[in-house]
Amino acid sequence: MSDNDTKKPTGDAQPPPKGAPTDTPAAKIGSQPSNPPAGAKLETPPAAHSAPTAAPPPPPAPKPAGPPPPKNPGFITCTIDGKEVVVKPGTNMVEAAKMVGSDIPYFCYHPRLSIAANCRMCMVEASNAPKLVPGCQTPLVEGQVIKTNTPKVKEQQRAVMEFLLLNHPVDCSICDQAGECKLQDYYMRYDYRPSRLEGGKVMKNKRKVLGPRVVLDQERCIICSRCVRFMNEIPKEPQLGIFGRGSHEVIDTFPGSELNSNYSLNTVDICPVGALLSRDFRFRARSWFLSAAPSVCTGCSRGCSIYADFMAQDTYRYRPRENEAINKSWMCDHGRETYKGLNTGRVLSAVVGRQQGTGTARPEVARKEALQAAAKALSGVQGQVAVLASPVASNEDLLATLTFAKATLGAKELYVGGRPQGEADHFLLTADRNPNRKGLELIAQGLGLTLKPFEDLVKAIDGGKVKALYAVGTEVPGNVETFAQAAAKLDVFVAQATNESPITAQATVLLPASAHVEFDGSFVQVDGIVQRFRKAYPSKGDAVGHWALAAELTRELGGTAAWTSSREVFRELGKAVSAFAEFDWDKAAPPDREKPGINPLPTAADGRPPGYREFGAPRVRGI
């Protein structure tokens, strides 16, 4: 060890190494460098000049020019795949690419959830970054150039797909998500190569029941974390988490809890693969066998926009439909389960006469015969008939039936029925379980009818003041059995109903009415927004709309009713309701077919790209 190795640095300049240039005269032998270092001493100082002849100081160097001003002030202008796009500040590349027709694939991104950027499927080339950047997480900047289809990007997409499919159980043949699966679609588009994995795949739980409505296949999960983020951020009920590490990472509920939220089935909608499945819909139908009709949920007064997925004349499920003003991209589990009433317990044929005892069959008659019997019974009690209206009926149904009740039956008062109240939650579900209470109130006001509570009707029947009743819908807010006993005291009970109940068993004339998915119509939800819904399939059995039954009864009693469709009912009778003046019945209808004629939308191709169930305005028609 030398002496210098033990010396502490003093901060002073160290002596130059041997052979280094010095300031000694011996070091200056030879030509001078052409660019001497700044501040070097000169051998001959410059001659002094007198003050009058001194040269002016050199002008200061110009400041470097800043970035050019934005092309569109207040917005960001950039280029994606050679096409210029103008977006709002903060817009990410995935959303901007959609504007110019480019498709950046993604699994974990959702426009209504926080950004995780963990699937790495949306990596693209950006002019201001040396490496690929995630398109979902990266906001655009002025003048940026984005490329989504270069060889480097395509290789990244192929590699990500290969990684995600390493341990994926390719059981598409039994998976409910087949036909709506991003993993399927992206494999065909971005990978389409055989697996290079040698050895067995990681085995996980194939049937993990998370709660009363959702089951999880952990082997199919790609850990996109959409479901976890949804439960944390939208209903704010953190019931799911990610547990484990590496290939053994899984989605699961927290120990001692279950996925029992009223919004749990939204996790099934936003799952991009077949990991989260509805226990109700599981193994019931293939998506390509189903058709979809834009409709409105009737589970409560919120009136969430939905798709009713059906096959033949059976509804299989409800899915949320995008509506920024009402339900965004979501709907509650309570509303999803209301589709079952469309399939079971329906009134499919007309009946004249009360049911005699339990378990006895009632003689079914033709609807024409039943209408004649109803008209005959009502003609003898005109002016004395009480009217019960259900807020489950559509605006068109209520306009026609209440007009008939006022003009033909002489009714001046209206008893309000409907489903009993329930419990509201903190998000979408309201306590009022009737989809059109607001519409009933507006129509009654427009027609000059006084609304009275249902309890007054029960008291009037028990007191013998009401002997005849005309019911538009048999849903009642009280005890069904109790009202059925009261209805048995009526001399005339003409009921138009969609579903059987103890009340319909006491009707002297029972007329079959169509459900809301069997005709075109509208509802008014709790905030006063009028919404249109589309017909999914023809009415079951001998049923027709309430409005059509009212038109036939009007003609049977000698009146005039030229309505042949719910559209004509709204256009003719809706003029009496000032709240409907600005509502354009035709323009407000969500499009349900690509061309005129019987051409219902396939569920997996209702204008959105396959697999994009959860969000997005279709590019073709702009739902």
Identity (one letter) of the amino acid at 272?
A: P
23-52 burial, b at 16+ Cβ within 10 Å, e below that, comes to eeeeeeeeeeeeeeeeeeeeeeeeeeeeee
185 pLDDT above the threshold of 60: yes
Pairing verdict, β 276-278 and 214-216: antiparallel
194-219, pLDDT tens digit by residue?
Answer: 888 888 888 999 999 999 999 999 99
Quote the CA–CA distance of 107 and 135 in Å, as a whole number: 12
| Range with the poorest average pLDDT among 51-55, 120-124, 318-322 | 51-55
Listed in sequence order, the DSSP H helices in 104-254 are 151-164, 182-186, 226-233
Beta strands in 344-480 (DSSP E): 350-352, 364-365, 385-389, 413-416, 450-452, 468-472
* Residue 361, amino acid: A
User: Cα(first)–Cα(last) distance of the chain, in Å?
Assistant: 82
Strand-pair category, 601-602 with 291-296: antiparallel
Q: What is the pLDDT of residue 503?
A: 94
Contacts for 404-408: CB closer than 8 Å, 24+ residues apart: 404/550, 404/551, 404/553, 404/554, 404/559, 404/561, 405/449, 405/470, 406/447, 406/448, 406/449, 407/554, 407/559, 408/382, 408/553, 408/554, 408/557, 408/559
Band of pLDDT at residue 28, cut at 50, 70 and 90: very low
Better-scored residue on pLDDT, 511 or 613: 511
pLDDT above 70 as % of the chain: 84
Which SS3 state, helix, strand or coil, does residue 542 take? Answer: coil
- For residue 342, the SS3 value is helix
What pLDDT band is residue 556 in, cutting at 50, 70 and 90? very high
- Residue 555's nearest CA partner among 342, 407, 454 is 407
d(CA 441, CA 578): 12
Separation of alpha carbons 281 and 154, rounded Å: 36
For residues 329 and 214, give the distance between their C-alpha atoms in angstroms, rounded to a whole number: 19
pLDDT at 10: 43
CA angle, 619 then 621 then 623, to 5°: 90
CA atoms within 13 A on the CB side of 102: 22
One-letter amino acid at 595 equals K
Q: Which of these, 312, 319, 228, 236, lies nearest to 536 by C-alpha position?
A: 312
Question: Helix (H) and strand (E) counts for the chain?
Answer: 13, 24
Residues 133 and 242: their CA atoms lie apart, in Å, by 25
**Average pLDDT estimate for 483-499:** 94
**Does residue 229 register a pLDDT over 70?**
yes
Quick one: pLDDT at residue 573? 93
Provide the pLDDT for residue 53. 55
* CB 610 within 8 Å of CB 547: no
- What pLDDT shows up at residue 146? 95
Could you give the percent of the chain with pLDDT greater than 90? 66
Higher pLDDT, 128 or 605: 128
Element (H, E) at 55: none
Mean pLDDT value across residues 558-563: 86
Q: What residues have CB less than 8 Å from 439, skipping those under 6 apart? A: 391, 394, 395, 398, 522, 523, 524, 530
Q: Give strand pairing partners of 470.
A: 387, 494
Q: How many CB atoms lie within 10 A of CB 582?
A: 7
Q: What is the pLDDT of residues 380-435, one digit of tens each?
A: 887 789 999 999 999 999 999 999 999 999 999 999 999 999 999 999 999 999 99
Task: List, in sequence order, every beta strand (DSSP E) within 324-445.
Answer: 350-352, 364-365, 385-389, 413-416
pLDDT for res 20: 43
DSSP H stretches of helix in 470-565: 480-487, 546-556
224-244: average pLDDT: 95
Three-state SS at 174:
helix
Q: What is the mean pLDDT of the chain?
A: 85
